[in-house]
């Protein structure tokens, strides 16, 4: 199959022919229909997060099931599915307490002595985040995908696989936004826009979008932002405080992954507020907070993949889209071919577009 391979940090991906294995007992072979180009992939390309190479990148995708293993009961050939990088075992402490996105069980991967899912020999080609969706096919654990209704367009369904689940999930699961509460979202890329949309769905009374790109702030209004702040026009914390008459917000969401914006997200909270870090802060970066702020019962917490229960969440998000509540058409800036993946990364670096989606030929 044709796939986009990262062989060296900082270098463009290479389009190669990569061997893919047959499904094991609990595995599913999927024909990839679409894959979003996410900023998280760029973090690994640039080396902000280490990963064993070479690897087929990509982790935000949807497709059609081609084959299933002998023990698979969750999907069948012909099903349309969305994939999720937070594969789960179903019986560890995290899974049994309803925190499936935290599962790190090795059961969802092949063992060191098994034939690899990708490549000719063990270690020849690494699978990225349980998926490797920049490829014509994916071979994954059955608990890394969920079947969805077939009238859902798969290029839009792919976005639910990461950015939507991460952003909307952080709002409704991680932080538990309630109707009427005030929300600020720092960074209006794909994940930030999803968080804004999620806050609107949750009934937030005021949704403040913060970015340095005017085009993204205009887009944020379409996703439900009631107010927008241009971070280039002055201290965004001061602007938030002015908008809220000095009260601060109940919930903030940092969707960039920078030290300064994470600290800002905490500082713009009101008493009892919660800051949620959903951006990927580079390894080794330390965050500085003022201890006195904790006397106001302010909290800061991480969120992994929106604290999802994706087999339940993703079909519901599909229904939200089909009923007009979830904005996905507006999130897609361009549809591209696999060979254009490096162009999409260049656009991510410039920060101009929301999402490029790789669309594979049927």
Q: Are residues 245 and 329 in the same domain?
A: no
What pLDDT shows up at residue 124?
Answer: 82
Q: Are 314 and 85 in contact (CB under 8 A)?
A: no
Q: Please tell me whether residues 142 and 125 are part of one structural domain.
A: yes
Q: β-strands 14-17, 2-6: how paired?
A: antiparallel
Same domain, yes or no: 186 and 144: no
In this predicted structure, what is the pLDDT of residue 14? 96
Q: Are residues 216 and 231 in the same domain?
A: yes
User: Residue 153: inside a domain, yes or no?
Assistant: yes
Q: What is the DSSP track for 43-75?
A: HHHHTSS---SSEE----EEEEEEEE-TT--S-
3-class secondary-structure state, position 143: helix
Within 8 A by CB and 6+ apart from 118, the residues are: 3, 18, 19, 20, 21, 56, 124, 125, 126, 127, 132, 139
Q: How far apart are CA 283 and CA 264, in angstroms?
A: 19
Distances in Å between the Cα of 65 and the Cα atoms of 23, 142, 230, 249, 358 are: 11, 11, 44, 44, 18
Q: Is the residue at 103 inside a domain?
A: yes
Give pLDDT tens digits for 296-311. 999 999 999 999 999 9
Establish if 166 belongs to a structural domain: no
> pLDDT class for 362, splitting at 50, 70, 90?
very low
**For position 344, what pLDDT does the model report?**
93
Same domain, 154 and 293: no
Tokens describing residue 70: 């002998």
- Picking from 287, 302, 317, the residue at the C-terminal end of a domain is 302
Decide if 223 is inside a domain.
yes
Find the CATH number of the domain harbouring 54.
3.90.180.10
My answer on whether 191 and 149 are in the same domain is: no
Residue 351, pLDDT above cutoff 90: no
- For 142-197, the pLDDT digits (tens) are 999 999 999 999 999 999 999 999 999 999 999 999 999 999 999 999 999 999 99
CB atoms closer than 10 angstroms to residue 283:
10
Half-sphere exposure of 127 (CA within 13 A, CB side): 26
The partner residues of 141 in beta bridges, in order of sequence, read 27
- Same-domain status, 234 and 247: yes
Q: Is the peptide bond before 64 cis (omega within 30 degrees of 0)?
A: no
Domain boundary among 258, 273, 302: 302
Task: Please say which residue of 302, 332, 347 terminates a domain.
Answer: 302
Cβ neighbourhood burial of 203 (10 Å; 0-12, 13-18, 19+): exposed
Q: Rounded CA gap, 355 and 327, in Å?
A: 13
Query: Does residue 240 belong to any structural domain of this protein?
Result: yes
pLDDT tens per residue, range 263-290:
999 999 999 999 999 999 998 999 999 8
Burial class (CB in 10 A: 0-12, 13-18, 19+), 106: exposed
Does 335 share its domain with 297?
Answer: no
Is there a single domain that holds both residue 25 and residue 145?
A: yes
Here the CATH number for the domain that contains residue 255 is 3.40.50.720
Q: Does residue 268 sit in the same domain as residue 319?
A: no
Instruction: Please check whether residue 276 lies inside any domain of the structure.
Output: yes
Residues 6+ apart with CB under 8 A from 127: 55, 56, 109, 116, 117, 118, 139
Specify if 169 maps to a domain.
no
For the segment 75-105, what is each residue's pLDDT rounded down to a tens digit?
A: 999 999 999 999 999 999 999 999 999 999 9
Same structural domain, 21 and 135: yes
Q: pTM of this prediction?
A: 0.94
pLDDT score, position 183: 98
Query: Could you identify the residue written with the tokens 């979008």?
Result: 209
> How many residues are present in the chain?
362
Over the chain, what is the mean pLDDT? 95
Alpha-carbon gap, residue 125 to 73, rounded angstroms: 28
Q: In total, how many domains does the chain have?
A: 2
3 state DSSP class of 356: strand
Are both 273 and 326 inside the same structural domain?
no
- Are 268 and 240 contacting, i.e. CB atoms less than 8 angstroms apart? yes
Q: What percent of the chain has pLDDT over 70?
A: 98
**CB 276, CB 251: distance < 8 Å:** yes
Task: Please state the φ and ψ torsions of residue 252, each to the nearest 5 degrees.
Answer: -125, 150
| Integer Cα distance of 187 and 195 in angstroms | 10
Q: How far, in Å, CA of 317 to CA of 293, rounded?
A: 36
Q: Give the tokens for residue 61.
A: 């995708």
Evaluate if residue 62 carries a pLDDT over 90: yes
Q: Residue 218 is encoded by which pair of tokens? A: 């205009």
Domain range enclosing 255: 176-302
Residue 157 within any structural domain of the chain = yes
């Amino acid at each position: 199959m044709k796939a986009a391979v990262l062989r060296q940090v900082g270098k463009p991906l290479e389009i190669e022919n990569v061997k893919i294995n047959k499904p094991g007992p609990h595995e599913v072979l999927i024909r990839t229909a679409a894959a979003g180009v996410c900023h998280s992939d760029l973090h690994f390309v640039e080396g902000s997060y280490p990963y064993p190479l070479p690897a087929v990148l990509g982790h935000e995708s949807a497709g059609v099931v081609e084959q299933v293993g002998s023990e698979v009961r969750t999907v069948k050939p012909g099903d349309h599915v969305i994939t999720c990088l937070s594969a789960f075992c179903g019986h560890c402490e995290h899974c049994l307490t309803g925190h499936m996105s935290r599962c790190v069980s090795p059961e969802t991967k092949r063992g060191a002595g098994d034939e690899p899912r990708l490549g000719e020999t063990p270690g020849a080609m690494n699978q990225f985040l349980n998926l490797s969706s920049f490829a014509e096919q994916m071979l994954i654990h059955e608990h890394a995908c969920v079947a969805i209704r077939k009238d859902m367009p798969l290029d839009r369904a792919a976005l639910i696989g990461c950015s939507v689940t991460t952003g909307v999930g952080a709002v409704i699961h991680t932080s538990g936004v309630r109707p009427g509460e005030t929300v600020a979202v720092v960074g209006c890329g794909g994940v930030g826009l999803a968080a804004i949309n999620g806050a609107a769905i949750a009934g937030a009374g005021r949704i403040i979008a913060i970015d340095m790109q005017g085009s993204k702030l205009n887009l944020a209004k379409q996703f439900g932002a009631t107010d927008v702040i241009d971070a280039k026009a002055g201290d965004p914390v001061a602007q938030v405080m002015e908008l809220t008459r000095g009260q601060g917000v109940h919930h903030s969401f940092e969707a960039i992954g920078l030290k300064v914006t994470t600290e800002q997200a905490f500082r713009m909270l009101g008493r009892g507020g919660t800051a949620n870090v959903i951006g990927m802060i580079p390894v080794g970066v330390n965050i500085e907070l003022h201890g006195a702020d904790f006397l106001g019962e302010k909290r800061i917490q991480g969120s992994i993949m929106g604290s999802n229960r994706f087999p339940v969440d993703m079909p519901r998000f599909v229904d939200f889209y089909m009923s007009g509540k979830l904005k996905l058409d507006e999130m897609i800036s361009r549809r591209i071919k696999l060979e254009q993946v490096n162009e999409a990364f260049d656009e991510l670096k410039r920060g101009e577009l929301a999402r490029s989606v790789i669309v594979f030929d049927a």
